[in-house]
A = this chain, B = another copy of it.
């Protein structure tokens, strides 16, 4: 089965990549450059795909930046908030309609290379601030994708009802090289350990009781302090 996977080089999509590859899918890992400030995720994606000998086309959507203004992930003028995802200020990391745009480009590419499936790694932990990670949204997109062409393309989203801890647990079973994946929205040399996605990543390892091999910045608070939610000065 030829399959286009929406592939960021992050933890979730890497844990999705491995079992699909092991199951014999002919994978095409579509990465998207949307002008994100954490561009290092694209380098991580390229490195992992090169090692696994998986083609990794990059869709350059950075020209859309002025049209999709207002997110701290694409604007250098808005600071990436620190703290838990559930907090109001993390909403600034929402890129308007990102998942629909990614899935529509992935579907177009699937039709172009005659792939019968696209896969993405949205999971239930994202819901609080990312409406386009919900299973209702995935179901609606699956239906639209099925109707978009006479050739049928199926949307697979096995993690849509999983937590990130479930994904870490599954990744550990599959011996996914977590340290090679990138999550941090700040895009420094090391994961900052204190932005929303770093906190989510660290808590997921903690909850899954899996050793977190990620090197974090020196001043990152401890996981225990993260959970207590009292780490900010």
Interface residues, chain A, with chain B CB atoms under 8 Å away: 30, 57, 59-64, 66-70, 95-101, 103-105, 107-109, 111-112, 131-132, 134, 136-137, 140-141, 143-150
Q: A137–B147 contact, CB under 8 A?
A: yes
Residues of chain B within 8 A of A134, CB atoms compared: 147
> Can you name 17 extra interface pairs (CB under 8 A) apart from A101-B101, A140-B146?
A57-B67, A59-B63, A60-B63, A64-B108, A69-B112, A96-B108, A96-B111, A97-B148, A97-B149, A99-B148, A100-B145, A101-B105, A131-B149, A137-B148, A140-B143, A141-B144, A143-B143
What separation, in Å, do the CA atoms of A83 and B31 have in the docked complex?
A: 38
For the complex of A and B, 4 pairs with smallest distance between CB atoms: A97-B108, A96-B111, A60-B63, A140-B144
Count copies of this chain in the complex: 2
Contact A150 B137 (CB under 8 A): no
Main secondary structure of the interface of A (DSSP, over half): helix
Given A104-B104, A105-B67, are A112 and B141 neighbors across the interface (CB < 8 Å)? Answer: no
22 contacts between A and B (CB under 8 A): A57-B67, A61-B61, A61-B63, A64-B108, A67-B108, A67-B109, A68-B108, A70-B112, A96-B107, A96-B111, A97-B148, A100-B107, A100-B144, A100-B148, A101-B101, A131-B149, A132-B147, A134-B147, A137-B147, A140-B146, A141-B144, A144-B144
